[in-house]
Amino acid sequence: MHRTLCDRSSVAIAHICASAVAVAYVLAFVLGAGMSAAEAKEAAPLANDPVTERRLMTLSEELRCLVCQNETLASSRADLAEDLRREIRAQIKGGATDQQVRDYLVARYGDFVLYRPPVKARTILLWSGPALFVILGVALLLRAVRRRRLSLVDDPDDGLLDDINADVTGRGGRV
């Protein structure tokens, strides 16, 4: 009897401990989420000149975020994207043309920074790759169809058609 009472009390203590740990995790999550929201960055102020800001947005929509890689510089919230937008804004205010800004970023980060890289010897596979894969797929499909036709001509159904005709006409068996 004493042993059963001890077993029950240890199970109860284990449940209490597990509940306390669960409550601690929930509190840590809620407090952590609250801290994250409180520490969130504010949006960078727009340039005083709307023309500069329009040029910045046009340029940053043509450029890739180097951290996110699938987002434009305009839509990315990464720290590097913010730094690059700040750099582009400074160059625009300094009198650089859009092409000069693009050239500066390409010289620094390579063609990867451009969403539409130019057709060059280094990027020819990037531009021709999808067409090559389609051609390869069609060639493999045609090859498979041709092999299938040849196998049907070389091995003409081994009397299967005769069996089907016999079943249809009701004669049962080979003709």
Q: Can you give the residue ranges of every domain in the chain?
A: 1-40, 50-113, 124-169
Residue 66: which residues within 8 A CB-CB, separation 6 or more?
A: 80, 81, 84, 109, 112, 113
The pTM assigned to this predicted structure is 0.49
CA atoms of 113 and 135, how far apart (whole Å): 29
Least confident of 17-21, 45-49, 65-69, 155-159: 155-159
Average pLDDT, whole number, for the chain? Answer: 76
Task: Return the CATH class of domain 50-113.
Answer: mainly alpha
Q: Specify the pLDDT at position 156.
A: 56
The more confidently predicted of residues 50 and 139 is 139
Residue 10, pLDDT > 90, answer no
The more confidently predicted of residues 161 and 57 is 57
Contact assessment for residue 42 and residue 79, using Cβ atoms and an 8 Å cutoff: no
Residue 123: which residues within 8 A CB-CB, separation 6 or more?
A: 111, 117
